[in-house]
Structure 1
């Protein structure tokens, strides 16, 4: 692939972990503003060269980097303010949407010890999440807010309250509006831990591990929905607002739409387990109403297998059968990779969507890199960065070869493929000198017409190391 070089132009320094980067036009204005949502619960926007606070919900967001007892953990955390989306008519109606982990909802977690499947021990392969009302990690909420005429944001209603089994895999940049359906798209991870212990992502009744459309035009007149984990626990008026696009999700850093003549190509990245990070693309899909899924479940029939997009997790990790890695006792330099869920791999083998491209956690090729975790996928439709027009740009948290400080994230790209083959990718070279500072690439964003790209970088992987973030614009 063609080598691409870019520059990183700093826009804002010394902010907290940036999870969402988007632009919108404020009511009464005529120019797009860059909005930055931070994991701890702040939303800023750039106006006239300076940074201004749009909304501060830190008091509403769970205290990050702590356990149930309130003691500090390792400092790595995947909860917090994870989603921000502006209504397509935000300029006129002032509506926007938030997804965050709720303060005061910390629980003990769904399992008391570290989980790893063992194909030789069937008791580890089909665990069930029981006692959900007491065995959970936290509660996530999706809310509708409005920017009032006096310029002050105010919460209008809660759309969903979701109980999560573990602290991780809650999605990031998890709210986006579909230009096709004008519905709010929520991307939920599989619930966390590793290897999806309860196989939530393939269970049609589980909210976890899905891509869900929410029809925000419909008013359910339910101001405070119950806290649930399954679709059939929701009140019927809420069920009627939901359709499911996809299942088999491990964890997704958002969804990106690319207009292609009179239709849209959808791109999503699925964060990997042990081997590979994957980006998927699809055009046609048949959204499944939640009421229809529930009806199929009641009569114990399989819903239309052609309806849902299936990314294959937990049976598949991208293009590979899901495995776990152990050291070879005879040769410590080698690893063996037993299948974790052979039966599920077989079951989903013909139903799953194949990736557009994948990159690997270990890759010795000189022009590639060892990845850690996919953190952003965006289409670039601008013409300023030569050879990137129409391409899919993505970011990885930290280059594996540089796991010791100073760490560097990775910027890369791939192209749309029409031959149904696994596509290649190429690293995008950058010229910015971070010197001795670590640079984890934590988020990727774009403007409304996808002609600009924004990169969120953090100097630490710990959520309680504050004000170490920088937002860059990616420029020629």
Structure 2
């Protein structure tokens, strides 16, 4: 692939952590506006006249950064405008509800002295202890971390947004892996798409992502044209716990996600390539692509579950987690004591890897946490994927651009990375190249946290934050990526 160099042109500075970047045309307006959603709960609209607050739901968001040194993966996570937003004013939000803080799914996990069998906050399985390989999330109504909600809002004629209805309420076991940039509309089906994570901790301890009944670790289509007004969705973790009327608006198109930072559609020869990122565990970050897929209506999934029958899943997309981390079987790495320079690698979930080895799709590209090859980098966490169809940066046209949070094991200050790859005609795994950026961040850290585009994907936008803590405020910058 060609070496690509770009400039970063600042658009707005000193905002909170910019988690979603979208554009749309406001009702009665004539131009596309840039919208920025921050993790703490603000949505800003940017135009020629500057920046203004479109919506502020900070009071609705769970208190962030109270543990873990200020790092948090909850908050306002998704924003999507209806394809007919110009005419109907409808838009959709995914966020973590204020007042929903729970103790977490692991009993006494904060204080191992309370319980000899207590588990660490970031769980790691031990293949020599079968008990750790087959955990179950029990007592879910009491043991959870928080509740996420997906809502429909409308922009009233007065210009004030107002909530219309709740589509889903999802109980989450841990604070992390809730998805990010989690809402978009499919140009193929016209339905709202929700991308979720596996529920968090580490290594998907309850194997939620491969369980067809679990909402966690899935890509879900929501038919927002169907009427669910008057129905207050219960707080659930599994599809069969939903009322039939809510089941009827849901379709599952993929499973096996660890943490999915959104989905991007690219039109090609009258069909759409779908790009999905999957954040890795310890070894590798992955970008997947697919064109054709077999959706499974939730009503059919629930029926099969209740009748104890298996559905035909040929054509159903499976990213392979937790048995597979990108191209690798999920692996545990331990130091070989007393020689810490040696390592022992063990399959974490051999049976899971075996079961999903044929069912899963191969990644389009992977990048690794350790990669000594020239022109590569050690990644930490994939934060966004975005198709680019513009001509302004010629070598990027028709590619998928992705961002990594911060280069692994690099000296401070921290620096995020831009990279890209393209579809191979033979469908095999492709390599990637770094996109070189001509911008001096000085002594400040620059965590790459989000990526967006305009409606026809001819302009790219990058969200950067100077801290990895959500409660270090007003340290965000939005750039346009330009030649």
Verify same fold: TM over 0.5: yes
Residue among 98, 102, 106 paired with 2:93: 98
Paired position in structure 1 for 2:482: 475
Match of 2:11 in 1: 11
Unaligned runs of 5+ in 2: 110-118
| 1:21 match | 21
The aligned residue for residue 69 of structure 1 is none
1:261 positional shift: 1.6
**Residue 262 of structure 1, CA deviation:** 1.4
130-139 vs 322-331, which moves further: 322-331
Q: Deviations over 1:409-451 (max 9, x none)?
A: 0000001112122100000000100000000000000110000
> Conserved in 2, the CA contact under 8 Å of 1:406 and 1:437?
yes
TM-superposed CA distance for 1:263, in Å, is 0.9
User: Contact 1:148/1:154 (CA < 8 Å) preserved in 2?
Assistant: yes
User: 2:49 & 2:9 partners in 1: Cα distance?
Assistant: 14
Alignment of 1:300-449 (within 5 A): 300-329=308-337, 331-402=339-410, 404-449=411-456
Equivalent pair of 1:4/1:386 in contact (CA under 8 Å): no
Aligned match of 1:84: 79
Does the residue aligned with 1:359 lie in a helix, a strand or coil?
strand
For each residue in 1:182-232, what CA deviation from the matched residue of structure 2 results, as whole angstroms up to 9, or x when unmatched? Answer: 000000100000000000000000000000000000012344210000000
> Which residue among 282, 285, 289 is the counterpart of 1:277?
285
SS at match of 1:59: helix
Deviation of 1:307 after TM superposition, in Å, equals 4.0
Comparing 301-310 with 231-240, which one deviates more in the overlay? 301-310
Q: Counterparts of 2:421 and 2:99 in 1: how far apart (Å)?
A: 42
Q: Is the CA contact (8 Å cut-off) linking 2:292 and 2:315 kept in structure 1?
A: no
TM-superposition CA deviations, 1:379-416 (whole Å, max 9, x none)? 100000120000110000000132x4210000000011
Structure 2: distance between partners of 1:466 and 1:178: 33
1:58-207 aligned at under 5 Å gives the runs 58-66=58-66, 72-111=67-106, 112=109, 113-114=119-120, 115-207=123-215
The within-5 A match list for 1:282-293 is 282-293=290-301
Query: What does residue 44 of structure 1 align with?
Result: 44
Aligned residues: 470
- The match for 1:261 is 269
Per-residue deviation at 1:328? Answer: 2.4
Q: CA deviation at 1:150?
A: 0.6
Give the corresponding residue for 1:244. 252
Q: How far did 1:326 drift?
A: 1.1
- Contiguous gaps of at least 5 residues in structure 1: 67-71
C-alpha separation in 1, matches of 2:287 and 2:344: 25
User: Does structure 1 residue 459 correspond to structure 2 residue 459?
Assistant: no
Q: Which deviates the most, 328-337 or 381-390? A: 328-337
Q: In angstroms, what is the RMSD of aligned CA positions?
A: 0.9
Structure 2-normalised TM-score?
0.96
Give the Cα separation in 2 of the matches to 1:341 and 1:468: 40
Cα shift at 1:90:
0.2
Instruction: Please tell me whether the aligned partners of residues 369 and 401 of structure 1 are also in contact (alpha carbons under 8 angstroms).
Output: no
In structure 2, C-alpha distance between the alignment counterparts of 1:59 and 1:224, rounded to whole Å: 21
